[in-house]
């Protein structure tokens, strides 16, 4: 296997170090390492991070290959600096059996751009009625540990309780899409000042907060861990903070778009801003950033949700919900968290690699950058400034809310177990 010397990189944003990769493993981290027999990557001024891990990705295959496939989605992931992604279960057919999760898992391995760890559905067909065969999915080759009906809420309190209890047997976790269904019938955007003016159906914060409150109490009652998907409101932050202070085993994620964008953008009626949960207010954005900084929110997850052009090139009510995010996530986090002084690069490594790998039990990912560890690495140029051009995306879809927006930072290299998947910003 090949040897690579990454020279002069700021490991986790610290002092410049040389990192020698031998085969699939990091051989040595130090200064003045010999380049002999190694391909050299000059990394002066760049930041070296552990390969990013996304706990919340929609790869759309099987079923909606017009918007994304495992291949295009993992290429997008590699472009964004990811070495592992968790693929959500809302495919067609739904990933609620061992067969479907194994297919998705194998496709990821075959393509080799990024490890794909399938998420299993909690209930059959995401219908919230009957538990899917969670154990069988766990025991399959895919080794599923994260279960979610994402896109839909496991709203029945008894089903949620049972799922939380059941997955304890094999260390699984339920990732809840917190959305009280009755309170969000016909919901089109955040309910508040802007929805009142625009006449769009409101998605009230309480619909998220009431489910999170219920779920943390259920998790406490049955002694399980629970994960909150795409937490989006200041109130949700308060509930998770309270739950953690009580010792409840809860983790939470925030998306890059909820860290940056607000519902004011909906005034354009441009469905590229339509997403679920919806963009909230400035106050929520501030609370989310603070919570990510202080660890109340554990991780950043993209909720990368590709949609074909025609599903966004229409009136707001008819448009699909969701945004692509894999290729812009790190830049948005740099802008909102690093450049604002809220988080160090070490903190970024934690929120985007260590912690998500830990929550999802992704072995080999989210490891320290030190000798003997798997060489899953991401090299970032934080000095870069550039406008987002969706035409350059590796994703099959272009539904980004950042088109034309200047964002800082750029992933130049990604290595998956020592193999370069991204070199100088180009897919290998």
The reply, when asked if residue 365 is annotated as ligand binding, is no
- Of 1, 40, 157, 314, the residue at the interface with another protein (CB under 8 A) is 314
Answer yes or no: is 307 a known binding residue: yes
Q: How many residues bind another protein (CB under 8 A)?
A: 23
Q: How far is the C-alpha of 88 from the C-alpha of 56, rounded, in Å?
A: 6
Q: How far is the CB of 229 from another protein (least distance, A)?
A: 24
Residue 32 or 199: the one with the smaller Cβ distance to another protein is: 199
- Of the residues 115, 284, 298, 303, only one is catalytic, namely 303
Would you call 18 a catalytic residue per the annotation?
no
Indicate the SS3 state at residue 6.
Answer: strand
258 marked as part of a ligand binding site: no
Helical H segments across 127-281, by residue range: 134-139, 157-166, 193-198, 205-222, 234-245, 256-260
Which tokens is 387 given? 């406008």
Stretch that binds another protein, among 1-9, 41-49, 310-318, 335-343 (CB under 8 A): 310-318
Asked if 315 is part of the footprint of another protein (rule: CB under 8 A), the reply reads: yes
Q: Which of residues 107-146 bind another protein (CB under 8 A)?
A: none
- Please identify which residue in 196, 264, 286, 406 interacts with another protein, judged by CB under 8 A: 196
Token pair recorded at residue 154: 């496991």
Contacts of 392 by beta carbon, 8 Å cutoff, 6+ apart: none
The least distance separating another protein from the CB of residue 424, rounded to whole angstroms, comes to 35
Residues forming beta bridges with residue 18, ordered by sequence position: 30
Q: What is the DSSP letter of 320?
A: P
Among 102, 191, 215, 253, binds another protein (CB under 8 A): 191
CB under 8 A: which stretch of 6-14, 162-170, 190-198, 208-216 binds another protein?
A: 190-198
Known catalytic residues are 303
Residue ranges at the known binding site for substrate? 58-60, 90, 276, 307
Q: Where do contacts with another protein occur on this chain (CB under 8 A)?
A: 188, 191-200, 202, 204, 268-270, 310, 313-318
């Amino acid at each position: 296997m090949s040897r690579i010397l990454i020279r002069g990189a700021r490991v986790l944003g610290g002092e410049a170090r040389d990192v020698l990769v031998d085969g699939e493993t990091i051989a040595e981290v130090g200064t003045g390492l010999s380049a002999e027999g190694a391909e050299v990557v000059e990394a002066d001024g760049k930041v070296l991070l552990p390969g990013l891990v996304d706990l919340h990705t929609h790869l759309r295959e099987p079923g909606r290959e017009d918007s994304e496939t495992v291949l295009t989605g993992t290429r997008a992931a590699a472009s964004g600096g990811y070495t592992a992604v968790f693929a959500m279960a809302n495919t067609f057919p739904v990933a609620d059996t061992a067969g479907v999760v194994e297919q998705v898992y194998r496709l990821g391995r075959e393509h080799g751009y990024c490890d794909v760890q399938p998420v299993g559905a909690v209930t059959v067909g995401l219908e919230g009625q009957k538990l899917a065969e969670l154990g069988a999915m766990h025991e399959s080759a895919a080794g599923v540990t994260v279960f979610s009906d994402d896109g839909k809420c496991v709203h029945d309190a008894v089903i949620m309780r049972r799922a939380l209890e059941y997955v304890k047997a094999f260390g699984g976790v339920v990732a809840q899409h917190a959305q009280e269904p009755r309170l969000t019938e016909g919901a089109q955007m955040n309910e508040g000042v802007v929805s009142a003016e625009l006449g769009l159906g409101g998605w009230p914060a309480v619909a998220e907060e009431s489910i999170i409150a219920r779920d943390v109490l259920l998790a406490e009652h049955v002694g399980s861990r629970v994960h909150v998907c795409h937490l989006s409101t200041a109130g949700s932050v308060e509930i998770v903070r309270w739950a953690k202070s009580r010792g409840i085993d809860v983790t939470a994620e925030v998306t890059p778009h909820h860290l940056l964008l607000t519902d004011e953008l909906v005034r354009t009626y441009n469905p590229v801003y339509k997403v679920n949960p919806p963009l909230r207010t400035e106050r929520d954005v501030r609370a989310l950033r603070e919570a990510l900084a202080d660890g109340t929110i554990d991780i950043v997850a993209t909720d990368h949700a590709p949609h074909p052009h025609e599903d966004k090139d229409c009136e707001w009510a008819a448009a699909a919900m969701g945004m692509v995010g894999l290729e812009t996530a790190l830049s948005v986090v740099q802008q909102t968290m690093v450049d604002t002084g809220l988080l160090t690069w070490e903190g970024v490594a934690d929120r985007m690699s260590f912690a998500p790998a830990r929550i999802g039990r992704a072995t080999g990912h989210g490891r320290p950058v030190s000798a003997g560890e798997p060489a899953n690495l991401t090299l970032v140029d934080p000095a870069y400034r550039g406008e987002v051009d969706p035409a350059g995306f590796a994703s099959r879809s272009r539904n980004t809310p950042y088109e034309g927006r200047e964002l800082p930072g750029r992933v130049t290299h990604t290595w998956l177990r020592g193999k370069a998947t991204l070199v100088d910003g180009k897919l290998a």
